[in-house]
Homo-oligomer: A and B are copies of this chain.
Amino acid sequence: MKRMELGKAFTLMEPGPVVLVTTCDGQKNNIMTISWTMVLDFTPAFAITTGAWNHSYAALRKSRECVIAVPAVDLIDQVVGVGTCSGADTDKFEKFGLTPVKAKQVGAPLIRECLANLECKVVDIVSKHNIVVLEAVAAYFDQSRKEKRTIHAVGDGTFVVDGRRLDRRKMMRSKIPDGV
């Protein structure tokens, strides 16, 4: 998977795709499905909503690292599967045929099958609101992947797939960071 400029990586998260978040507790890799995410700044920093109700949370808090992997629509059943079982009793990489790939700057693995991967460090945990603040330190995008449409969880068990793309670059120029 090819490196992507960090300054463009927020564009992977801003549209709100459902993502897979990997962690490593020092021994075991795990994955959780997260739909509650937000961009915080262009560096990029992100927020995700998670807490002790997710088995991955302990590893995330301990290691202070994770990978955000962005799946495309052809992985929808893996995304739902990962989100409906627990790492407490399941090796999710094995169960769902996903391939962990060694990251460069964090212990959590990239997911080979995903469209994009973001290596992230935990910057802060706002426990009161179950918000984990992340800073991405490396980004990868699989340009060679044919299916690039991402999916958006509605929250009622349905998912909306990316449709057509509208260009408003000219109107937006004043608001877009240089180089994006």
Contact = CB atoms under 8 A, between A and B. Distances in A.
Interface stretch (A34-42, A62-70, A98-106, A114-122): A34-42
B129 A124 contact: yes
Nearest to A161: B163
A167 interface: yes
Interface stretch (A20-28, A136-144, A151-159): A151-159
A157 B151 contact: no
Q: For this complex, into which size category does the number of interface residues on chain A fall?
A: 35 or more
Nearest to A49: B40
A153 B47 contact: no
A172 interface: yes
A15 B171 contact: no
Interface in A77-128: 77, 80-81, 83-84, 124, 126, 128
Interface of A: 8, 10-11, 14-17, 35-41, 45, 47-49, 73, 76-77, 80-81, 83-84, 124, 126, 128-131, 133, 149, 151-176, 180
Given A39-B155, A77-B168, A84-B175, 7 more contacts: A45-B129, A47-B47, A83-B172, A155-B180, A157-B169, A158-B168, A160-B166
Top-9 shortest CB links A-B: A16-B16, A163-B163, A157-B169, A38-B38, A15-B152, A157-B172, A14-B155, A161-B163, A11-B155
23 contacts: A14-B36, A14-B153, A15-B16, A40-B129, A40-B131, A41-B49, A47-B47, A47-B129, A77-B171, A80-B171, A124-B129, A126-B126, A156-B169, A157-B167, A157-B168, A157-B170, A157-B173, A158-B165, A160-B162, A160-B163, A161-B164, A161-B166, A163-B163
